[in-house]
Amino acid sequence: GTGRFMDFATHGIDASNEMAELARKKHPTKTIRVRRAEELPEQGLLFDAIFCLHLFMHLTPSLMAQILAGCAQCVPAGGRLIFDIPSARRRSLTGFRPSGWHAGNALTHPQVVEILGARWKLRAWRGILFFPIHRVPMKLRRLLRPWDDACSATPLKQWASYLMYCAERLP
């Protein structure tokens, strides 16, 4: 991506040279490489945490599993992996059908747990965007946000637009 979350990272990757260049301009002191996520691990690099935001929505579940396995080689035991995925339950409720590869992947919580496999232990998960706040005028968003946060932290979270996960690397 363009480096929107690089304030929280030391390194970043993107498959697009153009996106990586935009990120480098915004964050000249950070290490940003053009690289596909499935090319992880990078020799000799270990991270306390890895986050993948708005990545897995564009990939197949099998490629997601491959990337999670690569991430496990880049994080020591006890390290964290933070990622999001569109909710398949929400999509079944709204009838959303992606066209092409863009946002083509959505999973249920049990599917995510299965893909995490034996290398990762789920530490926490929650929903994001239970209400379509991004479609509401800015002045009204702050009124809806507390309700959205509350619903996204209850069992209703599985019907939020996105599911956010934090997993711990197992020994």
Q: How would you write the pLDDT of the chain (171 residues) with one tens digit per residue? A: 788 888 889 899 899 999 999 999 999 999 999 988 888 877 778 999 999 999 999 988 899 999 999 999 999 999 999 999 999 999 988 887 777 666 788 999 999 999 999 999 999 999 999 988 878 898 888 899 999 999 999 999 999 999 999 999 999
Domain boundaries, the chain: 52-169
The CA-atom distances, in angstroms, between 148 and each of 26, 127, 144, 151 are 31, 9, 6, 5
- Tell me, what's the pLDDT at 44? 77
CA neighbor of 86 nearest in space, from 125, 124, 54: 54
Task: Return the pLDDT at 101.
Answer: 63
What pLDDT shows up at residue 114?
95
Nearest to 109 by CA among 146, 160, 37, 36: 160
The CATH label, of 2.40.170.20, 1.20.1070.10, 3.40.50.150, 3.40.50.300, for the domain at 52-169 is 3.40.50.150
